Structure 1
Amino acid sequence: MMLVIIGMAIVTMVPRVLPAFVVDRWTFPDWVSRWLNAIPYAALGALIFPGITTVIEGKPHIGLLAGGVAIALAFFRAHTIVTVLAAIGTVYILTIL
């Protein structure tokens, strides 16, 4: 049993540690670099969007409006704290109304 746990720990650790040592030495084609740079944004979108639509049960439009405010502020390069606070404030204001 302990051997299985150690094996699972090694298998989990290798993909997390290996890139730190190997990726800096590899040179990727330009299209691969662009694709790899887009992954964090795609993952962030996949994690955030479900939360936006379920911020208040039965009222997805409130989350979508707050998300729109955050997108607009981010587009105009507002500070991250300002963007987050504006989205939270939008949800708060729309919840009161």
Structure 2
Amino acid sequence: MESLDMKRAVICIFLMALVTYVPRVLPLTVFRKQIRSRYIRSFLDYTPYAVLVAMTFPDVFTSTGNLVSALAGTATAFVLSYYRKGLVTVACSAIAVVYIVELLL
């Protein structure tokens, strides 16, 4: 059972690396001139982030075992991210909120 989980994790990491790496390398190999289209440039810039969110966000709600604490941590992360706080601040604050909510429940 555990090897199946490890196998799935390795496959997910490989696919994520492939999906995020190809859009960044493909323009370098195919196009010799600088890409001037704002649409294509923004697509290539945001694709890795979109893939990462699509793969991890659904697991946020089941990671704590309690939907209320998961929603509290997610809301905290969203609010702090909106105010442009750093990654460490957002992550540590969300973890702290989840911990406090779990203690209260």
Which TM-score band applies after superposition, normalised by the shorter structure? 0.5 to 0.7
State the identity as a percent. Answer: 26
Q: 1:78 to 1:26 in 2, by over 3 A?
A: same
Q: How many residue pairs are counted as aligned between the two chains?
A: 82
Shift of 1:92: 0.3
Q: 1:33 to 1:89 in 2, by over 3 A?
A: same
Which of these two proteins has the greater Rg computed from alpha carbons? 1
Match of 1:61 among 61, 68, 73: 68
Shift of 1:79: 1.9
Distance 2:87 2:30 in 1: 29
Match of 1:43 among 13, 29, 51: 51
1:52 corresponds to 2:60 = yes
Report the TM-score, using the length of structure 1 for normalisation: 0.67
Name the amino acid aligned to 1:39.
T
Q: 5+ residue gaps in structure 1?
A: 1-11
Shift of 1:24: 7.6
Q: CA deviation digits over 1:14-61, x for unaligned, max 9? A: x76x9285278343322111111221221121122122111222x223
